[in-house]
Structure 1
Amino acid sequence: MLESLVHLAAGIDSVLTPYNLAVIFVAGMIGTIVGALPGLGPSSGIALMLPLTFGMPHIAGLCLLTGVYLGTMYGGRITAILINTPGDAPAIITAIEGYPMMRQGRGGKALGISALSSFVGGTFGLLILIFFAPIVTEYAIYLGAPEYFMLMVVGLSTIVLLAGDNVVKALIVTLFGALVSTFGSDYVSGHVRFAFLPELIEGIDFVAIIIGLYGLSEVFLNVEKNMVMNLGKPSFKVREYVPGMREIGEASAPTLRGSVIGTFIGILPGAGATVATFLAYALERKLSRHPEQFGHGAIAGLASPEASNNAAVPGALIPLITLGIPGSGGTAIMLGALIIFGLQPGPLLMMQSGDVVWAMIGGLVVGNVFLLFSNVVLIPLFINLLRVIQNHLSSVVVGLCLVGAFSLNYTLFNVWIVLIFGVVGYLMHKHNYPSGPFILAVVLTPLAENYFRQSIMISQGSWGIFIDRPISLTLVLLMAVTIVIAIMQKQGLFKRQAKPVS
């Protein structure tokens, strides 16, 4: 550990130059803006900035890319909390809990809690990256297709926790989400399914789905009910938006749990921050003494996913640096950047180019601290900007949604997808169908199908592969225990409610 601290100090020292600090500052702000815009996320932000790194020193170029990567994770929460329009997939849970807080006049507190939780999550992930990257990766390489399949199934089993009071409706939207996820060409065989339009060959873009389901549907509901948020008079006093000790105390334990989940889920290729946020949210709802508050502005339901969201960034960098395996779409582009810079990702990267790698990690540490202060200071600006446009908020949200949808592939097809799922989200809300299980199914079903078919091919048709391997068997038992406990609790709650009052 002492050796790691020495390398980290050297890396931070190489970053602390006026040029590199300016690069990190600009990268963090660009990432925050990109993350806040619907339809854009880490992959888009890094891809947009990659051409700017050509000709830059290696350390400055990597600081630019990692700063944008981390900034997008911070930025995704802004529109999610303020206007119920997640900037990217990991911000979905933030919208579920943060936007109700906004409607209750606690939007500034929600932004403050999310900023602090994001900082803690990012710091925890960085500590694991600094001290335990080789150890964690040594065990992560033993996970194969069966383990990843069971991990996806464990994720899907959490629908019993996201279901609320009506499990039947949750199962219906889960099956609907699984159906939507099967549109397009199959990952393994390339067989095209349900592509009655040429644009559907590539499937339905997940970002377009969440823009419509959350952003546009909220506009429809507000227009129908003629809702107007009472945001009070403009104020630029930061202390009015900083969470108090009670809120911080309530968020502290969920933040730590979310940090652990986000880091270790981020390490797993293909899982990423989206899966981590759903698992963190499901765990908090399971552990909460007041699960009925979830979906109505629960601090624990906001803090834990936000921490897991940012912890997944350094977590995803662990397999990239040590094995040359990208853990997410953003790190896949980072892999290309490392190769462009003449570096060779893999086990020898730390030995051959350790100074550059530690400088990149040092840039992440500096960027994480900078983003905390900048995001807290900018909270009054975000809230007061919303005050200025609140009378035209519906028009602004519709404009952001449609522009975000068009920017996905610069065609009108995704605009129509957003409109369709805007109506779907409106109808689901009107008839009390939960959106969480639907989104979870859309995210996890393609991954589960892919890993399942790989597992069956490896075992030559034997299903025993899922219980023959220790880690896979452990995940099977974990899923079974989760479902059984949830069912028993629901039955027990029903009996207590049905007991006559004497």
Structure 2
Amino acid sequence: MEILSSFAAGLGVVMQPENLLYCFIGVFLGTFIGVLPGIGSMAAIAMILPLSFYLEPSAAIIMIAGVYYGAEYGGSIASILMNIPGTPSSSITCIDGYPMARNGRAGIALFVSAIASFGGGIIGMVVMAVLAPMLATLALRFGPAEYFSVILLGLIAASAVSNGGALKGIAMVIAGLMLATVGIDLTTGDLRFTMGIPELRDGVNLVIVAMGLFGVGELIASIKANSRGEGRQNIDWKQFYPTRAEWKALVGPIWRGGAIGSFFGALPGTGQTVASAVGYAVEKKVSRNRAMFGKGAVEGVAVPESANNSATQTAFIPTLTLGVPGSASMAMVIGALMIHGITPGPRLLVEHADLFWGLVASFLVGNVMLLVLNIPLIGLWVRLLNIPYKYMYPTIIILICIGVYSLNNNVFDIWLTLAFGIAGYLMRLFRFEPAPLLIGFVLGPMMEEQLRRALLLSRGDPMVFVTRPISATLLAVTAGILAYGLWSTFHTRRRRRLAELSNASMSE
């Protein structure tokens, strides 16, 4: 009852006209910026942060939070329609969202994305309201060894995302880890694998990798397909409601994605990309419709979107209750609070209860606003696919170039993006999925940092990973997933080889 009364008090805070206005401004700007490839929630928060200095603390944090999860909503739109991830975490949505658009079901994909995002957001809000103190305590028990183990689990689970098999998935994850080592070693300060190129001193930007592999790579493939006369199918944009069977199929994935996202969102340093990847990998293993994953399964859109948005909500748990930002965006949230004289930490729930519960209640109001805002626009978004190719191609490449150039105002980044685009196209030809590579690239620096910390604290003893209960459990689960993935790959190849031999003998 205490939680309900506190939540009701929070609703009273967010329902004040000024706070409602800034909540709407936040979610609207977040959605709009999320659609633009390469911008992301961090840039959106950075642009709106100066405005928050002149607001009351509750209005400021509600608006910034709206921008944060609104950008995650918007990021799925470009992923589904053009295979260009608006945000890094929405790259998982590309795997099934874009094939649905290619099959004339873009409206259904966008509708499923909106519903799953709403469901995941509400699950994350409930988890934050009910379990914030408990999850904060659990997060405190995670040391370097536990973080390394959970990241390793995420990487192995990411290999299951690949439709080419576990071996190809693991190869792509390793390629991503290797790519993440380019640049300055944060521990020693030495340059690694820059090949004498000054622009690579700071490493390769995530936006460049995502835009190249998904955006430019798909653009090259689409141009080639169109030159052979493989035009897009006509889309009835008025029909964007899922069937009754699809509605039933969405319930489980939304719940599972929301639960997975809530857990990973509460762990500092993991975030939405890990939550989406793990959620997709788990759903691909448990779903009855697993054969359709990667070809346009509604579950493949629902799970990452639900996990993504629930992780977005619960990312505020370590930020507010521990003062530990899990990402650069959350670091900006802490900065905004400290400017107003509020120090995040365990005392925030007591000393600034109105702000905390007002923020939690704003998740409900903001997600409703996003749902009302996005569903009527589905028809408009889908009509983008009817734009002729001769206009679509240059528009997409210009958007990609602008987004990439805005990172460092450097033309080298554009050339690097085009190089990754060619690599992404070659991956498509040889059935190597780019998603595991991107996940390995994202998690590589964190994994290396936590490995070094764990070995430093244990004085070089690698047994620290198996003597700590949480770490040992995570490693056991990882080993089980890896063994099952390899067995499944070899078993599938063996069955395929036996079927080919059988067909050959019957033809003789």
Instruction: Tell me the TM-score normalised to structure 2 length.
Output: 0.94
Show CA shifts across 1:262-284 (max 9, x none). Answer: 11101111100001111011111
Q: In 1, Cα distance between the equivalents of 2:58 and 2:113?
A: 29
Query: For the structure 1 residues 8 and 380, does the alpha-carbon distance in structure 2 shift closer, same or farther, using more than 3 Å as the test?
Result: same
Residue type of the partner of 2:210?
Answer: I
Q: Residues 229 and 390 of structure 1 are in contact (CA less than 8 Å); yes or no, is this contact kept in structure 2?
A: no
Partner of 2:189: 190
Counterpart of 1:225 in structure 2 is 225
Q: Which amino acid letter does the alignment assign opposite residue 371 of structure 1?
A: L
Output aligned runs, 1:460-475, within 5 Å. 460-475=459-474
Give, in angstroms, the shift of residue 188 of structure 1.
2.6
In structure 1, the partner of 2:12 is: 13
Q: 1:343-379, CA deviations, whole angstroms, 9 ceiling, x for partnerless residues?
A: 1100111111111221122222210111112111111
Residue 35, structure 1, aligned to residue 27, structure 2: no
Q: Which moved more, 1:165-174 or 1:282-291?
A: 165-174
The Cα of 1:390 is off from its aligned counterpart by 5.1
Q: Determine if contact 2:119/2:254 at 8 Å carries over to the other structure.
A: yes
Distance 1:97 1:134 in 2: 36
After alignment, is 354-363 or 90-99 more displaced? 354-363
Which moved further from structure 2: 345-354 or 174-183?
Answer: 174-183
Moved more, 488-497 or 454-463: 488-497
CA distance, structure 1, for counterparts of residue 162 and residue 62 of structure 2: 41
Amino acid at match of 1:229: R
User: In structure 2, what is the equivalent of residue 413 of structure 1?
Assistant: 412
Report the CA distance shift for 1:365/1:231 in structure 2 as closer, same or farther (over 3 A).
same
Judge conservation of contact 2:35–2:78 (CA < 8 Å) in 1.
yes
1:21 Cα deviation after fit: 1.8
1:342 maps to 341
Distance 2:164 2:437 in 1: 16
Quote the sequence identity (%).
Answer: 37
Structure 1 alignment gaps of length 5 or more: none
Which amino acid in the other structure matches residue 423 of structure 1?
I
* Separation of aligned partners in 2, 1:39 and 1:67: 19
Shift in alpha-carbon separation, 1:105–1:496, aligned structure 2, 3 A: same
Of the structure 1 ranges 403-412 and 14-23, higher mean CA displacement relative to structure 2 is found in: 14-23
Which residue number in structure 1 is paired with residue 361 of structure 2?
Answer: 362
Cα deviation, residue 69, structure 1: 0.7
Q: CA deviation at 1:335?
A: 0.7
Name the residue aligned to 1:216.
216
What displacement does 1:232 show?
Answer: 4.1
Report 1:276-295 matches (<5 A).
Answer: 276-295=275-294
Find the aligned partners of 2:217 and 2:492 in 1 and give their Cα distance.
33
Aligned residues: 497
Kept after mapping to 2: 8 A contact 1:108/1:383:
yes
1:139 CA drift (Å): 1.6
Q: Report what 1:151 is aligned to.
A: 150
What is the letter of the counterpart of residue 291 of structure 1?
A: R
Which residue number in structure 2 is paired with residue 200 of structure 1?
200
Q: Is 1:444 paired with 2:429?
A: no
Residue deviations 1:183-234 (CA, integer Å, cap 9, x gap): 011233332212222221110001111001111111111112214323346x
1:10-62: CA deviations, max 9, x gaps? 11112213322222222111100111111111211111110011211222211
For the 8 Å contact 1:242–1:376, the answer to whether it is kept is no
Match for 1:115: what amino acid? A
Task: Please name the residue that 2:380 is paired with.
Answer: 381
Letter of the structure 1 residue corresponding to residue 423 of structure 2:
V
Give the secondary structure class of the aligned counterpart of 2:160. helix
1:163 is aligned to 162
State the shift of 1:481 in Å: 1.1
| RMSD over aligned Cα atoms | 1.8
Q: For residues 409-438 of structure 1, what are the alpha-carbon distances to aligned partners after superposition, in whole Å with 9 as ceiling and x for unaligned?
A: 222222122111111111111222221221
